[in-house]
Amino acid sequence: MNLPDMKQARLRTDKKVEYKDAQNIKSDKFKNKKYYLRTYGCQMNVHDSEEIKGILENLGFKETEELERADIVVLNTCAIRENAHDKVFGFLGRLKHLKKENPNLIICIGGCMPQEEVIATTLKEKYPFVNIVFGTHNIDELASMILEEDKHQQIEVYSIEGDVYEHMDYVRDSKITAWVNIMYGCDKFCTYCIVPFTRGKQRSRKMPEIIKEVEDLKKKGYLEITLLGQNVNAYGKDLEEGYDFATLLEEVAKTDIPRIRFVTSHPWDFTDEMIDVIAKYPNIMPYIHLPLQSGSSKILKLMGRRYTKEEYITLYNKIKEKIKGVSITTDIIVGFPNETDEDFAETLEVVNTCKFDGAFTFIYSPREGTPAAKIKDSIPLEVKEHRLHELNELINAYSLMHNKEYIGKTEEVLVLGPSEKGQNKVYGYTKTMKLVNIDDAQDDIGKLIPVQITDAKSFSLDGKKAIFVQN
Interface of this chain with ligand SAH, residues 409 to 468, rule: CB under 6 A? none
Nearer to ligand SF4, 205 or 434 (CB): 205
- Contact indicator for 59, 95 with CB cutoff of 8 Å: no
Nearer to ligand SAH, 197 or 222 (CB): 197
Interface of this chain with ligand SAH, residues 349 to 408, rule: CB under 6 A? 362, 364-365, 367
Nearer to ligand F3S, 72 or 80 (CB): 80
Nearer to ligand SAH, 58 or 230 (CB): 230
The one-letter amino acid at 49: S
Instruction: Select from 142-150, 173-181, 188-196, 320-328 the region that touches ligand SAH (CB under 6 A).
Output: 188-196
Interface of this chain with ligand F3S, residues 63 to 82, rule: CB under 6 A? 78-80
Binding marks (x or -) toward ligand F3S, 152..171, rule CB under 6 A? --------------------
User: Per-residue b/e over 91-121, b at no fewer than 16 CB within 10 Å?
Assistant: bbeebeebbeeeeebbbbbbbbbbbbbebbe
Shortest Å distance, C-beta 412 to ligand SF4: 31
> Which residue among 45, 58, 293, 296 contacts ligand SAH (CB under 6 A)?
293
In whole angstroms, give the CA distance from residue 451 to residue 52.
36
- The H or E element spanning position 327 is strand 327-334
Per DSSP, the residues of 346-407 read HHHHHHHHH--SEEEEEE----TTSGGGGS-----HHHHHHHHHHHHHHHHHHHHHHHHTTT
- Identify each DSSP E strand in 203-264 by its residue range: 203-204, 224-228, 259-263
Single out the residue of 381, 377, 450, 445 nearest to residue 411, CA to CA. 450
Shortest Å distance, C-beta 49 to ligand SAH: 17
Interface of this chain with ligand F3S, residues 104 to 143, rule: CB under 6 A? 111-112
Shortest Å distance, C-beta 59 to ligand SAH: 32
58 binds, among ligand SF4, ligand F3S, ligand SAH, none (CB under 5 to 8 A by kind): none
Shortest Å distance, C-beta 205 to ligand F3S: 17
- Identify each DSSP E strand in 29-142 by its residue range: 34-39, 62-63, 72-77, 106-111, 132-134
In whole angstroms, give the CA distance from residue 348 to residue 394.
8
Instruction: Select from 117-125, 189-197, 216-224, 411-419 the region that touches ligand SAH (CB under 6 A).
Output: 189-197
In whole angstroms, give the CA distance from residue 135 to residue 348.
38
Shortest Å distance, C-beta 135 to ligand SF4: 17
The β-bridge partners of 425 are: 439
Single out the residue of 141, 232, 142 nearest to residue 179, CA to CA. 232
Interface of this chain with ligand F3S, residues 195 to 254, rule: CB under 6 A? 195, 198-199
Nearer to ligand SF4, 59 or 195 (CB): 195
Shortest Å distance, C-beta 80 to ligand F3S: 4
In whole angstroms, give the CA distance from residue 465 to residue 2.
54
Shortest Å distance, C-beta 289 to ligand SAH: 8
Single out the residue of 243, 258, 232 nearest to residue 206, CA to CA. 243
> Which residue among 3, 37, 44, 278 contacts ligand F3S (CB under 6 A)?
44
Shortest Å distance, C-beta 305 to ligand SAH: 8
Question: For residue 163, what is the DSSP state?
Answer: -
Shortest Å distance, C-beta 363 to ligand SAH: 7
Rounded to 5 degrees, what are φ and ψ at 99?
-65, -30
Sign of CA dihedral 355, 325, 46, 251: negative
The CA-to-CA distance between both ends of the chain, in Å, stands at 57
Nearer to ligand F3S, 42 or 469 (CB): 42
Nearer to ligand SAH, 54 or 337 (CB): 337
Interface with ligand F3S, residue 373, by CB under 6 A: no
> Which residue among 17, 45, 138, 429 contacts ligand F3S (CB under 6 A)?
45
Shortest Å distance, C-beta 468 to ligand SF4: 41
Q: Quick check: bond before 314 cis, omega within 30?
A: no
Shortest Å distance, C-beta 410 to ligand F3S: 36
Instruction: Select from 84-92, 154-162, 172-180, 187-195 the region that touches ligand SAH (CB under 6 A).
Output: 187-195
In whole angstroms, how large is the CA radius of gyration of the chain? Answer: 23
Single out the residue of 161, 158, 86, 91 nearest to residue 121, CA to CA. 158
Helix axes 341-354, 309-322, angle to 10 degrees: 10
In whole angstroms, give the CA distance from residue 360 to residue 332.
6
Nearer to ligand SAH, 304 or 450 (CB): 304
196 binds, among ligand SF4, ligand SAH, ligand F3S, none (CB under 5 to 8 A by kind): ligand SF4
- Contact indicator for 58, 143 with CB cutoff of 8 Å: yes
Residues of this chain that interact with ligand SF4 (CB under 6 A) are: 186, 188-190, 193, 195-196, 230-231, 266
Which chain residues interact with ligand SAH by CB under 6 A?
80-81, 192-193, 195, 230-231, 264, 266, 291, 293, 331, 333, 362, 364-365, 367
Which chain residues interact with ligand F3S by CB under 6 A?
41-42, 44-45, 78-80, 111-112, 194-195, 198-199
